[in-house]
Structure 1
Amino acid sequence: MRSKWLFRGRLVIPLGLAAFLIALSWLGLAGRSQPVAASASSLTVCPTGCPYVTINDALSDSVAGDVILVLPGIYTETIQLKAGVKLYGTPVLTVLNGNGDGPVVRAEGNGILSDTIFSGFVVSGGAATQGAGIYIADGASPTLSGLIVRNNSGGNLTESKGAGMFVTGNSAPQLRLSTFFSNTAGSGAAIYADGAPVQLGGNAFEVNIAGLAGGAIVLSNTTAAVYSNTFVANIAGLSGGALYINGGSPTIDNNIIFGFNSAGGSGGGIAVDGGTALIKHNRVVSNTATQQGGGIAVSNGAAPTIHNNLITNNGNSGVGVNSRGAGISINGAAGLVRNNTIAYNAEGSGEGVWIEGSSATPTIVNNIIVSNTYGIRGPTKGGVYPTPEISANDVWSNPSGNMMGANIAGKEYADGNISEDPLFVTGLHGYYYLSQTESRYSKGVDAGLGAAADVGLDDRTTRTDGLPDSDAVDMGYHYRLPPPIATVISQFAGGVLTLTANTTITIDFPADVVTRPVTVTAGITTSHPISPGSEYLGPVFSIDAEDEEGNSVTGFSNPFSIIIHYDESDLEGIDENTLTLSYWDTASEAWEGILTTVDAEANTMTAELNHLTTFAAMGQVGRYRIYLPLLVR
């Protein structure tokens, strides 16, 4: 058995490196021409020798469409963003210091839209009970990027909110590629969204401290979207070490919540206190709560959807009856817990899932719950018992018990539940793929309730070869598909792309296929319905292209080749004589065969064609035999 604290996720990027990478990302964007209106002006600010030595003076002289470039330096002032004005600093090197005053940056009024840009600044030294660093209100919705928001303070650690950024009302700013570090407040030390539908993407939240809730972020009664962020070592005195959700229906998507986020009460990673949040595709790893929900805590009648998350190595640091649910705790709440892998949550009481309260009625389905101290557990005495629906889960090797408690015990082999080694294997993106070789085949494959497409997982995979899930959904966490690959082909050199899944797909473009450079992209994609008696040989894949101006290219005047290399073991009952390459006809919504040459000795399929779309190799199984391709022996 693996050590319970062996990390199975991504590495943490230190703050300095994170800032540097964010700077590079911003510079990559800034390297493109900035959109400036024909009548717009460019104003330059620097500490000495420029037309402006303060940002406020430049803002005062600016009008909508103007660009203000702020060169490296420390600017001790507070500013108010101006509608339509684009304000660019030099990432990491341009510092806007509140020097104990605040908010350092304000954006107020519904005239401030996404064309108002604030990018490339360090915002620090702010002090205010709301939005010490950045305050956004009254419908303002600017675009913020490439920021480092650090060392801002709300002062009072019980009443202050959003020391890094406070957003209220119907304001909907977009924040991306920014780092929030070492901000302190009562709630939402980095960001507090009060009813505001903020969009937070690609940011890093590190070592922010809240006296009460939301070490990094509080989302209060909002439809916010929080996606592709990282959360490391954020602390809440009570609830939500990384995120505290108070009502509303926000979406928490594809975040890495890893590494010593902690709460003095519940929800070391995420605390959901009411509402209908959608929590999907996240990695919740190595977080701690003193009481309930080391990974995720759900309470107060909440009904979230917790879908396709990797929840591992979380724990409870407290002792006694109030320390429950190292992975997930559900207390007096409902919701859907589906297709998660919940493993190695063992510190403290160590339940993979803890459920309590007569109003606790969650549906727990298609999960893999293994190697926690307990699997699924609830109270065994007291008379106030939950009534969960538990079906089609693999609950295995939880040493103190797989299913325990009133209305839980005895379901280990009922309602589609199994207790089998899921046979985890390491793949491109992590350690929790399911083995699917002929000699070592996971019982969790095709064992879930519902089709992969119906639960939104047909564009993800549990297989190391990257084939997307199809038909009956597999149990547990599904990884994203391998990234597409691209090459530039020209009239002089042509080009080759190679996709590797369980088969190897070579796409060969000769030099005469184009008259000017074209970028071609190929990637594994979701499947389409297939005729009865047919099976795919390898993945469904798409080929797309565009020219230097970004125009779509759908075909060529001369043909290119697709060569598919397969092993005998890949056939798995497919009649080799019936193999053919097909393309998906969007008009008829059906697969159409392409003239294909099959070399049974070399185990290759070859087709020549001149159009780009979605392709798949397939053949007949069993008694269905249709001899379409030319067979070369």
Structure 2
Amino acid sequence: MRTLTVFACGALMFGWAAGAEATTWYVPSQCPNIQAGIDSAAAGDTVLVADGTYTGDGNRNIDFLGKAILVTSENGPAVTIIDCESVDRAFFFQNDEDSSSVLRGFTITNGNASYGGAIRCDFGSSPTIEGNTITGNYSTDGGGGIYLEYGSPTIVDNAIAGNTSLWHGGGIHSYDASPRILGNTIQSNSADDPTWECYGGGIYCEYGSPVIVGNTITENTVDYLGGGIYCDGVSGIIRGNVITLNVADNLDDDCYGGGIYEEDSPSLLIEYNTIMGNVADWCGSGIASYSSSSTIEDNTIIGNIDTDFGGGIYCEFSNPTIRGNTVAGNCGYYGGGIYCGASSPLVEGNLVSGNESGYGGGVFCDFGSDPSFAGNTIAENLATHDGGGMYCYWSEPTVVNCIFWGDSAGSGNGQEVYLDWDSVINIDYSDIQGGSPGVYVVPGCTLYWGVGNINSNPLFVTGPLGDYYLSQIAAGQGTDSPCVDAGDPGSAVPAGGTTRTDRVADALPVDMGYHYPTNRPPDLVDQPDTTVAENEYLTFTLEVSDPEGDSISFSSPDLPGGATLKR
């Protein structure tokens, strides 16, 4: 049976639709300002705002008054501007608004307020904020662009750019809320104050269950923790985002998490993101995990750079599950790809390649860490000193079903693995270049060279998704890799995983090393918004093909009349 994984980076929404008795209130031809339009409106009405720049009383600190109404521009944010003139914010939702209170299609700029420079949602209010440009706003406390407290607002398809907070959340600050943050561009926001430690250049989340899906989070800056996203005590989802070129940097403090910083978040799921080119001036330029046991799964973590620990992933006092990621081309002085400090993560089914460091080009295990490595390929990493593939300092990792090959160390010591300071390592059913002599053991350390290990060229070949498939006659190559069917007989095969260039799934006995997915999520093309008129219906069909080129389609149920289908 063929299986298709469909992953959408946008949001599918049923927008607000006016009923038969609804009234449209026109600003400024009928109502002099936006607040006057809202004051006049009843549930189901629309406040339609003409092109222009709106300033002064009635056009700032606007209150929806708990009404289920649509406040929208006539022709979009480029020509409909709310200029707060650095006096206050534009909107304050504070009366139990729900998703039927919709704000759409404005540019909001020059807001200046504590807690939400442009928009504040408080007291459990949960409006829909859609299709706006929120730029050049300023908050003395949290949320240069948007501040959320409690509630479950939907923030979708907005451009949130160039906002500043003197505390946390340059773009968005969420406190004990469960927002849906979907398909936004969150760019060039900053959380920076020379007298405070600030968190979350792009997004700050403390407590709650945020859903952060399909956003572009780029070029945001913070002076301490979380250039792109900061999470503390949350149980949400970070999925399918492009998190790139964010910076955590401060000349006076050690900074963590250029892309993502997460702390005390045992149920946080971080998956299917592209985390690329982020910078932290200390630890975890891609992802920094502190005192957490989150799941970090199926991400592409590439080209992140920091000055010290864990260029790709940094773990401190953490036991996350790190599964199915590509960790490549990252740099950090201790652990170019992954750093574990006093941590015992499960590191399973990852590709760790082309990373660089001083010590531990692929992985650095430090200070009482006991990580478990299973089914990884750790290849072609570079340490300018010791431990090209892995460096262990006072740690006890276990390794099974892994490939360590083509790594290098400038000192010549531990091209693949280097053990230091009372470290102990157990290796079984793995392909280690150089065999047991390829593991450099400092006196006082212990290597347990178990069963099923080999020292044979794995015969990597290039396939549809990368360069670390295994040569297999059944897939069309001339010879079989020695790693095929050479894993632990008691190990399960990764679900939907393959080492074959023809994408046929692996079967027992399991192959050593990283398994590519047999199916990759398709790229979805945006379609125009479609509004269904009264008494009409719409059915939509998603058509994709599986790896063999066969067509697969999915049709929705009919949508009710008066609904709007959004991507």
Tell me, yes or no, whether TM beats 0.5: yes
Q: 1:615: which partner in 2?
A: none
2:308 aligned counterpart, secondary structure: coil
Cα distance in 2 for residues equivalent to 1:117 and 1:241? 27
CA gap 1:310/1:136 in 2 versus in 1, 3 angstroms = same
In structure 2, the CA distance between the partners of 1:485 and 1:219, relative to structure 1 (3 Å rule), is closer
Taking a change above 3 Å as real, the CA distance of residues 546 and 100 of structure 1, as seen in their structure-2 partners, is closer
Give, in whole Å, the separation in 1 of the partners of 2:540 and 2:485.
Answer: 44
Q: What is the match of residue 467 of structure 1?
A: 504
Letter in 2 for 1:226: I
Query: 1:130 is matched with which residue?
Result: 168
Q: CA deviation at 1:548?
A: 6.4
Give the distance between the partners of 2:288 and 2:318, measured in 1 at CA.
12
- Corresponding position: 1:423 with 2:467: no
Q: Is the 8 A contact 2:181 2:210 kept in 1?
A: no
* Aligned partner of 1:161 among 184, 199, 220: 199
**1:66 to partner: Cα distance:** 2.0
Determine if the alignment matches structure 1 residue 81 to structure 2 residue 117.
Answer: no
Whichever residue aligns with residue 318 of structure 2, its letter is G
1:66-215 matched pairs, under 5 angstroms: 66-71=101-106, 74=109, 76=111, 78=117, 79-81=119-121, 83-90=125-132, 94-99=133-138, 101=140, 103-110=143-150, 112-113=151-152, 116-156=154-194, 159-211=197-249, 212-215=255-258
Of 301, 316, 331 in structure 2, the residue corresponding to residue 257 of structure 1 is: 301
Q: Is structure 2 residue 335 aligned with structure 1 residue 293? A: yes
TM-aligned CA deviation for residue 275 of structure 1: 2.1
Change (3 A) 1:189 1:25: closer
Q: Distance in 1 between matches of 2:66 and 2:402?
A: 59
Change (3 A) 1:367 1:45: farther
The residue identity in structure 2 corresponding to 1:57 is I
Identify the match of residue 375 of structure 2 among 334, 339, 342. 339
Asked if structure 2 preserves the Cα contact closer than 8 Å seen for 1:333 and 1:362, the reply is: yes
Change (3 A) 1:519 1:198: closer
Provide the C-alpha distance between the structure 2 equivalents of 1:231 and 1:186, rounded to a whole number of angstroms: 19
* Corresponding position of 1:352: 389
Q: Which residue does the alignment assign to 2:440?
A: 404
Q: 1:544 to 1:440 in 2, by over 3 A?
A: same
Q: Is the 8 A contact 1:377 1:408 kept in 2?
A: no
In the other structure, the counterpart of 2:364 is: 329
Aligned amino acid, residue 331 of structure 2 = T
- Secondary structure in 1 matching 2:282: coil
Structure 1 residue 41: deviation in Å? 4.1
Of the candidates 387, 403, 427, which is equivalent to residue 390 of structure 1? 427
Larger radius of gyration: 1
Unaligned runs of 5+ in 2: 1-7, 20-42, 68-96, 250-254, 409-413, 524-538, 560-567
Structure 1 pair 365–518 and aligned structure 2 pair: CA distance change class (3 A): same
1:239 aligns with 2:283: yes
Q: Distance in 1 between matches of 2:545 and 2:172?
A: 42
- Structure 1 residues 543 and 125, CA gap change in structure 2 (3 angstroms): closer
SS at match of 2:190: coil
Give the superposition deviation at 1:202.
1.7
What is the CA distance between 1:84 and its match in structure 2? 3.1
Are the equivalent residues in 1 in contact too, given 2:259–2:287 (CA < 8 A)? Answer: yes
Deviation at 1:89, TM superposition (A): 2.0
Match of 1:441, SS state, is coil
Contact kept, 8 Å, 1:96 with 1:104, in 2: the verdict is no
User: What is aligned with 2:86?
Assistant: none
Q: Which residue of 2 aligns with 1:48?
A: 52
> Would the alpha carbon gap of residues 353 and 72 (structure 1) be closer, same or farther in structure 2, given more than 3 Å must change?
same
In structure 2, which of residues 483, 492, 495 is the aligned counterpart of residue 444 of structure 1? 483
Aligned to 1:311: 352
What's 2:62 paired with? 57
When normalised by structure 2's length, the TM-score is 0.72
Offset, 1:464? 0.7
Equivalences, count:
457
Q: Is the 8 A contact 1:122 1:148 kept in 2?
A: yes
Residue type at the aligned position of 1:287: N
Query: What's the TM-score, normalizing by structure 1?
Result: 0.65
Q: 1:519/1:136 Cα in 2 relative to 1: closer, same or farther (>3 Å)?
A: closer
Alpha-carbon shift at residue 483 of structure 1 (Å)? 4.8
CA distance in 2, matches of 1:520, 1:233: 33
- Mapped to 2, the partners of 1:208 and 1:475 lie a distance apart of 35
Query: Gapped runs of 5+ residues in structure 1?
Result: 1-23, 317-322, 487-515, 525-538, 552-633
Change (3 A) 1:66 1:37: farther
Q: Residues 426 and 369 (structure 1 numbering): CA distance in 2 closer, same or farther, change over 3 Å?
A: same
Q: What is the Cα deviation at residue 36 of structure 1?
A: 4.8
The structure 1 residue matched to 2:325, chosen from 271, 282, 297, is 282
**Matches of 1:410 and 1:84 in 2, distance apart?**
56
- AA in 2 matched with 1:447: A
